[in-house]
Structure 1
Amino acid sequence: MTEIIETLAGIGAQYDVLYCDLWGCLHDGRALYPEAVAALQGFRRGGGTVVLMTNAPRTRHAVERRLVRMGLPRDAWDVIVSSGDATQEAMLMGAAGRRLWHLGPEKDEDLFTEIPEALAGQPPLLRVPFDEAEGIICTGPFDDCADTPEDYRGRFLSAKVRGLTMLSANPDIVVDVGETRIYCAGALAQLYADMGGAVMSFGKPHPPIYDLARRRLAAMGISYDNDQVLAVGDGILTDIAGAQAEGIDALFVTGGLEASRFGPDVQAPEAAPLLAWLTGQTRTPRYAMGRLR
């Protein structure tokens, strides 16, 4: 049964590594949660390693730049691993061909411009118009403030007929920017898959992002067993499902995407509706708390 806890510090000593989600746990898309920042700093002071693991469809460099602009202190984390990083590896190795149509906003350009040294020797990758593409790299809607998945149905039908594979750089369906909920690449990928299109996804809950985290930590000289890892996240189908698939403990932050389900106090989820909802989701994270603190 899931245990509702008050603070990360109350359980942190049991773990050596933290996989911490960003959006909904560390910030709301506009501002950091100060108590969450303090919780990560405290975990590191206790000797733990913090991996910021995000489904952002951008490289870790772009993620870090944004976190710095938001004011995240450097002592709150050790390494960043993004869905964009994992997708970029597959993209550069030709998983969907070498002539790609980019479905997504200009803010995700770094996937094509910030190339890791280890992958710089791959054959040239060309971004081409839809009609000339061998595959699709999807980082989200062109206009994530206005577009819906249905706006792309016609284009997706053509892509399916042509047998184009879509690389989805963000498995999230929606994300909250302050009080506004917007669609992510995962919603587009879900529609394409429902239409019979081929989709490859690389962020949580899929294995590539966890493999990348292990490789990044190994390069730092850090190795660990699964029972030493705690995954923190607010996405039941991404963070929690991914943790369970990897065989690691999970802390479900109820005050993120699902905040309205568990009572009026976002910091204090009510046990009965929480446990009933988790049962319906067939997920049993080891812990739950309102907001990371």
Structure 2
Amino acid sequence: MTSPISLPRLSAVADDYDVLLCDVWGVIHNGRESWPAACEALTRFNEKGGHVVLISNSPRPSSDVISQLDGLNVPRSAWKRFVTSGDATRAELAKRAPQAALAIGPDRDATTYEGTGLKLVDNVNAADFISVTGLVDDATETPEDYRDVLTAGAAKGLDLICANPDRVVQKGDNLIYCAGALADLYEDLGGKVIMSGKPFAPIYELALIEAESLLGHPVDRSRVLCIGDGVITDVLGAESQKLDCLFIAQGIHGDKAKGDDGQLDAGRAGDLLKAENTTARYAALDLAW
């Protein structure tokens, strides 16, 4: 595997692409504040005639996450369509109605289940499957807090549907656990996990449908660029879809891809990718025009 090409500015390759499938958390905000340079880059791409589709592993439907973007001052000019893991997961959940789901996650994720026809229960013994949108309190809990209930679910042979494949995300200066970390534990316990978000195909299928609608004609996949900071979600997902990728190496990886001069070290960025047996065409510390 070769190291990615250093790409400090999106403008250097903007004319090569019609569509950006851009990650949200870790690329344009950190859960507490948005990054003006990244938002400007996406806005400029749209203004030049391109189309930005945000593609997020948020477990909630995209319609519910827009208010969060607005609250973080992400301008509407920075994106045209928005697809989440929650959107893709709702389709999987609806297939199981009217089964009983043990729903694990914070109250704010309740809209993920609205209209699915599922019965929600709070006891693993009454459940037909488990659905995880996140930890109930990600500020204080870890996956170990869920070992007992997940052990019981795995012993019963229940499927676990994970609405957010992310293991961790950056919130301010901290890393917090996401639903993907619970899915990892469930697999370790011998349970079966089903995911629809990045790096899996269903969320990309939804995003490319949105891109085709914006373009008004079929998508030329050679002119689609994925942008994200998650190696095992964004980069692996792009590679599996045979789409170019710009790896944002600073995100959840902190300073691991920085050289001694504080700039991107393409070799170190490449090492982060090689550790997960994947590669990206480009890498940058952050997104800028």
TM (norm. structure 2) is 0.93
SS for the counterpart of 2:42 is helix
2:38/2:287 contact within 8 Å kept: yes
Distance in 1 of aligned mates of 2:108 and 2:269? 36
Alignment of 1:192-271 (within 5 A): 192-220=186-214, 221-263=216-258, 268-271=263-266
1:171/1:185 contact within 8 Å kept: yes
SS for the counterpart of 1:52 is strand
For these two proteins, the number of residue pairs brought into alignment is 284
Question: Which aligned segments of 4 or more residues in structure 1 are displaced greater than 4 angstroms?
Answer: 264-267
Alignment of 1:171-186 (within 5 A): 171-186=165-180
Match of 1:111 in 2: 112
1:40/1:77 contact within 8 Å kept: yes
SS for the counterpart of 2:202 is helix
Name the structure, 1 or 2, with higher relative contact order (CA <8 Å, separation 6+): 2
2:23/2:55 contact within 8 Å kept: yes
Q: Which of 132, 135, 151 is matched with 1:141 structurally?
A: 135
% identity of equivalent residues: 38
Match of 1:119 in 2: none
Which string of whole-angstrom CA distances, capped at 9 and with x for unpartnered residues, describes residues 129-148 of structure 1?
A: 22311111100111111111
Distance in 2 of aligned mates of 1:284 and 1:217? 24
Are 2:122 and 1:129 equivalent residues in the alignment?
yes
Match of 1:90 in 2: 92
Gaps of 5+ in 2: none
Distance in 1 of aligned mates of 2:28 and 2:261? 15
> Residues 112, 269 of structure 1: CA spacing in aligned structure 2 closer, same or farther, 3 A cutoff?
same
2:158/2:191 contact within 8 Å kept: yes
> Residues 277, 70 of structure 1: CA spacing in aligned structure 2 closer, same or farther, 3 A cutoff?
closer
Distance in 1 of aligned mates of 2:248 and 2:161? 28
TM (norm. structure 1) is 0.92
Distance in 2 of aligned mates of 1:288 and 1:142? 34
Shift of 1:287: 0.4
> Residues 31, 222 of structure 1: CA spacing in aligned structure 2 closer, same or farther, 3 A cutoff?
farther
Q: RMSD between aligned alpha carbons?
A: 1.7
Which string of whole-angstrom CA distances, capped at 9 and with x for unpartnered residues, describes residues 162-181 of structure 1?
A: 22111100000011100111
Which string of whole-angstrom CA distances, capped at 9 and with x for unpartnered residues, describes residues 200-245 of structure 1?
A: 0011000110011122334443531210100000001100000000
Match of 2:38 in 1: 36
Distance in 2 of aligned mates of 1:265 and 1:178? 24
SS for the counterpart of 1:44 is helix
Which string of whole-angstrom CA distances, capped at 9 and with x for unpartnered residues, describes residues 25-46 of structure 1?
A: 0001111100000000111111
